[in-house]
Amino acid sequence: MKVLSVVSGRLRPVSFVLALCVVATLGAQSPRLGRVAFPTSGSAPAQPAFLRGVLLLHSFEYDDAIASFHEAQRLDPGFALAYWGEAMCFNQTLWFNENLEKARAALARLAPTRAARQGKAPTPREKGYLDAVERLFGDGDKAARNRAYADRMAELTRQFPEDDEAALFYALGLLGTIREGQRDQVTSQKAGSIATAILKKNPEHPGAAHYALHAFDDGEHAAMGLEAARIYARIAPASSHARHMPSHVFLPLGMWDEAVASDESAFAASVARVKRLGLSMAQADFHSLSWLHYEYLQQGRFAKAREVMKTVEGAIAAGMRPGVGDGLKTVPSELAHQHAESEIGRGFSSTSLKSELGSMRARLVVDAGAWTDMRGQGNFENIDELFALGYSAVRLGDSARGAAAAEQLRNAMSQVGDTDAKEIAGISSIALQGVLRMATNDRTGGLKALAAAAGVEARRPKPIARPYPIKPVVELYAEALLQSGDAAGAVAQFKASLARTPRRAASLLGLARAAAKAGMKAESVKAAKDFLGAWHLADAGRPELAEARRLAQ
């Protein structure tokens, strides 16, 4: 039979046969969103909007995807999968966010009952998609529903082994079974293998590239996502999230130039969208901006990092929605993509942005050695800033203030509800006590405390993105060993630091210093040159540059 296909926005007739079912099919390619093939029973006029929605859904551009699925529903009110697509947008799997009420309401607009909705889907394959999403938004707790959805998608992939969309939504469903704050390498690797296999078949598939990146985003396997990282932003440049996702590989590998390019592009794209649609800055991608700030620090571009902070300050001053008072926080959630003023209930509050600004300030103080930035500051937004306040006080010779900060960090362990935050507060408190002891000439006690804190840190999973605590304790321990005259011990600890956080600038320069004092000339030169490579765009006049150039000779 003759049906319509859209390729690069043009309609043309093609031949397509699907046994036992009369359906329309559409292969969609967008030079700005990627390419998918998703045969459905929807009418030809509704197909372009539906497929655009699927492309956007694969890149987690949920609000825009909902608008596209609404358009498909308007053009074909009985188009079952258009309602499936809208419902899927209310489950932001990897952001641990869902709107159950809106998802169920979207399905109810197709038909009031599950049985009636099944009757609206004319093919077994489409019935399977609907059945899976009914389980995702059915009864039970979130974990049970996620598991039921993944299991149903597994059945669908076995029933229709050539359906790449089913396979990819199954891969995403698998990732959704991993609980927040946990890592499951077996499940992640399984999802990654599904996504990479489809990426080989269709190197322009946004979902294949996207889900591969998330699957390998576990602190251990980032290098396995390099191909997807280099593909994704190129095939889907209309998506801010697609432009950001490659930094999930570039940052943990210490590929600072590539990571910066990714996140600069992502934030710019999000701002362009905000302006184009007349939205508030709450809809800009502050998640990518927070990563960009850290990446600038690792390049020695501290002036650029301060510009990022001014952007956040401006957004807060412009009156973003007020947040709910929630006390002491840490920010390992990476802002968690919580957006406001949108169909899916996402939005950055002034509270979350203030907390992130506190973390940015803390990282700048620690990585740039901007100790006087914290002088006279009596308040703090989160644990990160509290540590920076105490650490800078010690560096400025104010041991009493440093001790007070260490005590507050210890008290924070009973004030924060998040288990991960409790551990970070505890590690930071012990590390700060170690630094204090070193500053008061108790080297034995200081090294013992830092070694203990570094041991706890080493048992934590490798950082997925920016390190927490913000100053890796193993790096602090290495610096203390070097200060105490144990250059060889410092070399070993700097290497351990770089194994956890590759090409982190302070550890590279520290390794160059320690290796030089230990008589390891070749190792010192190599580390110094790597540091200079990372800092090739650094602010002029930084003393670290002059020192590294001497060590590199």
Residue 165, exposed/middle/buried by CB under 10 A (0-12, 13-18, 19+)?
buried
pLDDT in tens, 253-283: 999 999 999 999 999 999 999 999 898 887 8
Going by pLDDT thresholds of 50, 70 and 90, the confidence category of residue 21 is very low
Going by pLDDT thresholds of 50, 70 and 90, the confidence category of residue 2 is very low
The residue ranking higher by pLDDT, 448 or 216, is 448
Residue 185 has pLDDT above 70, yes or no: yes
Tell me what pLDDT residue 29 has: 56
Residue 517 has pLDDT above 50, yes or no: yes
Q: Which residue has the tokens 């998918």?
A: 36
* Fold (CATH) for 389-551: 1.25.40
Residue 331 has pLDDT above 50, yes or no: no
If you average pLDDT over residues 104-108, what whole number do you get? 97
pLDDT in tens, 459-482: 998 988 899 999 999 999 999 999
Tell me what pLDDT residue 324 has: 35
Q: Which residue has the tokens 């499936």?
A: 84
pTM of the model: 0.85
pLDDT in tens, 31-83: 589 999 999 999 999 999 999 999 999 999 999 999 999 999 999 999 999 99
Do residues 324 and 347 touch, judged by C-beta distance below 8 A?
A: no
Q: Residue ranges of the domains in the chain? A: 389-551
Tell me what pLDDT residue 24 has: 37
Q: How far apart are CA 82 and CA 40, in angstroms?
A: 10
If you average pLDDT over residues 85-95, what whole number do you get? 93
Going by pLDDT thresholds of 50, 70 and 90, the confidence category of residue 376 is confident
The residue ranking higher by pLDDT, 105 or 223, is 105
Residue 335 has pLDDT above 50, yes or no: no
Going by pLDDT thresholds of 50, 70 and 90, the confidence category of residue 345 is very low
Tell me what pLDDT residue 15 has: 30
Residue 113, exposed/middle/buried by CB under 10 A (0-12, 13-18, 19+)?
exposed
CA distances from 278 to 62, 275, 282, 341 (A): 17, 5, 11, 12
If you average pLDDT over residues 523-528, what whole number do you get? 98
R_g over Cα of the chain = 26
Residue 418 three-state SS: coil
User: Is the preceding omega at residue 469 within 30 degrees of 0, hence cis?
Assistant: yes
Tell me what pLDDT residue 30 has: 59
Tell me what pLDDT residue 221 has: 85
In this structure, what token pair is assigned to residue 274?
A: 């905000």
Mean pLDDT of the chain: 88
From the list 213, 215, 254, the residue with the least C-alpha distance to 230 is 213
